[in-house]
Amino acid sequence: MQTHGYAAHSADTPLAPFTFDRREPGPTDVAIDILFCGVCHSDLHTARGEWGGTLYPCVPGHEIVGRVTAIGSEVSRFAVGQTVGVGCMVDSCGHCPSCDDGEEQYCTGGGFVGTYNGQDKHLGGHTFGGYSAHIVVDQGFVLRVDHDEKDLAAVAPLLCAGITTYSPLRHWKLAPGQKVGVVGLGGLGHMGVKIAAAMGAEVTVFTTSPDKRDAALALGAKDVVVSRDAEAMAAQAGRFDFILNTVAASHSLDPFLNALKRDGTMVLVGVPEEAHPSPSVGGLIFRRRSLAGSLIGGIAETQEMLDFCRDHGITADIETIPMQAIDQAYDRMVRSDVKYRFVIDMQSLRDEVAA
């Protein structure tokens, strides 16, 4: 069945209207009309070819909230009319040790299938993401969304920004009262602040944007440190149990590692185009500090995160945009000028197609 979306056709051309096929729903598939799709920095990295390996035409989008329009004969967990979400993955092998553990994002049986830029096992070619009117996804990769109807646009970013920050906080067993740093107050960072604060942490935001101070405090941070101020950074030495680094650009990790206590951990979730300079080994050894990474989260954990956010009244702070404004949104994202997530209202795409 044909659907409409917006695609990048090369790294340096604006996204443009694009018509393509979605498969007819198979026995375990759920067909979804997309209501909202969040704009992740990974969309920009991919559309603009910053990581290499982009398959064009590229329809980005992996923060999807929509309504079920049809289900396959074996689908038991979803019904037509239900509100659902789709995140960064639409499939995995299902039987490797990671899949068995519910950590499909670390699938070793060929890797998970990305919602976009993955290998489409059904139609051949590559997968197309949520900057589109409609998607068909296996029920194993569809999430229940039980937030209030009025919040659905602001729920979309939970499907990537939410789970990418929730998962490491859980994995590293964040305990109430611990001191947590969040580096970079963008889409991921602002979710990290809200979720860590809801888990009972005392959160400090490290930002390059001094004008984000009040907003950071309003999001739940107790303190804000301007990371370009070397003196202010030095004053943070040895204070933190855990630091979540969401920065999308190459930077020195040392001032942040230095801010960890003995045995503290900094987890990188940002994936910059250029590598970070190598951290100082001494800074790690003399305090037994750890530097780690984390990739999104598994499907069961994504459902747990959505339920946690519903129970704690957590959604993203968003600016809704029409599909047609995506390139301006990308340009603003590069300038860190977004508070704190763009979300595309897919009605704008339907209106364009109908006109």
Which residues lie near ligand NAP (CB under 6 A)?
A: 40-42, 45, 160, 164, 184-189, 207-209, 212, 246-249, 251, 269-272, 294-296, 333, 336, 338
Rounded least distance, CB 51 to ligand NAP, Å:
8
- CA–CA separation, 7 vs 309, rounded Å? 31
Q: Is the dihedral of CA 31, 37, 42, 43 positive or negative?
A: positive
Residue 37 as a binder of Zn ion (CB under 5 A): the answer is no
Choosing among Zn ion, ligand NAP, none, which partner's interface includes residue 142 (Cβ < 5 to 8 Å by kind)? none
Nearest to 195 by CA among 244, 238, 152: 244
Structure tokens at 261: 């206590």
Give how many residues touch Zn ion by CB under 5 A: 3
- CA–CA separation, 261 vs 241, rounded Å? 6
Rounded least distance, CB 206 to ligand NAP, Å:
8
* Near Zn ion by CB under 5 A: residue from 40, 47, 154, 321: 40
Rounded least distance, CB 337 to ligand NAP, Å:
9
Structure tokens at 117: 């830029």
Helix (H) or strand (E) holding 326: helix 326-334
Q: Indicate the residue among 29 and 104 with the shorter CB distance to ligand NAP.
A: 104
Choosing among ligand NAP, Zn ion, none, which partner's interface includes residue 188 (Cβ < 5 to 8 Å by kind)? ligand NAP
Structure tokens at 143: 């999430």
Choosing among Zn ion, ligand NAP, none, which partner's interface includes residue 204 (Cβ < 5 to 8 Å by kind)? none
Q: Indicate the residue among 36 and 240 with the shorter CB distance to Zn ion.
A: 36
Q: Indicate the residue among 9 and 276 with the shorter CB distance to ligand NAP.
A: 276
- Residue pair 29/129 in contact (Cβ under 8 Å)? The answer is no
Rounded least distance, CB 65 to ligand NAP, Å:
17
- CA–CA separation, 230 vs 272, rounded Å? 22
Helix (H) or strand (E) holding 162: helix 161-171
Residue 42 as a binder of Zn ion (CB under 5 A): the answer is yes
Residues with Cβ within 8 Å of 194's Cβ and at least 6 positions away in sequence, in order, are: 219, 220, 314
Q: Indicate the residue among 5 and 264 with the shorter CB distance to Zn ion.
A: 5
Q: Indicate the residue among 186 and 255 with the shorter CB distance to ligand NAP.
A: 186
Helix (H) or strand (E) holding 271: none
Q: Is the dihedral of CA 38, 42, 45, 47 positive or negative?
A: negative
Rounded least distance, CB 350 to ligand NAP, Å:
26
Rounded least distance, CB 97 to Zn ion, Å:
25
Span between the terminal Cα atoms of the chain, in Å: 20
Choosing among ligand NAP, Zn ion, none, which partner's interface includes residue 45 (Cβ < 5 to 8 Å by kind)? ligand NAP
Q: Indicate the residue among 135 and 183 with the shorter CB distance to ligand NAP.
A: 183
Rounded least distance, CB 168 to ligand NAP, Å:
9
Look up tokens 């375990």; give the residue.
28
Q: Indicate the residue among 64 and 183 with the shorter CB distance to Zn ion.
A: 64
- CA–CA separation, 339 vs 56, rounded Å? 29
Rounded least distance, CB 40 to Zn ion, Å:
3
Choosing among Zn ion, ligand NAP, none, which partner's interface includes residue 208 (Cβ < 5 to 8 Å by kind)? ligand NAP
Residues linked to residue 61 through DSSP beta bridges, in sequence order: none
Cα–Cα separations (whole angstroms), residue 135 to 139, 304, 337: 12, 23, 30
Residues with Cβ within 8 Å of 178's Cβ and at least 6 positions away in sequence, in order, are: 200, 201, 202, 241, 242
Choosing among Zn ion, ligand NAP, none, which partner's interface includes residue 336 (Cβ < 5 to 8 Å by kind)? ligand NAP
Footprint of Zn ion on residues 151-210 (CB under 5 A)? 160
Look up tokens 């860590």; give the residue.
196
Summarize as ranges the residues that interact with Zn ion (CB under 5 A).
Answer: 40, 42, 160
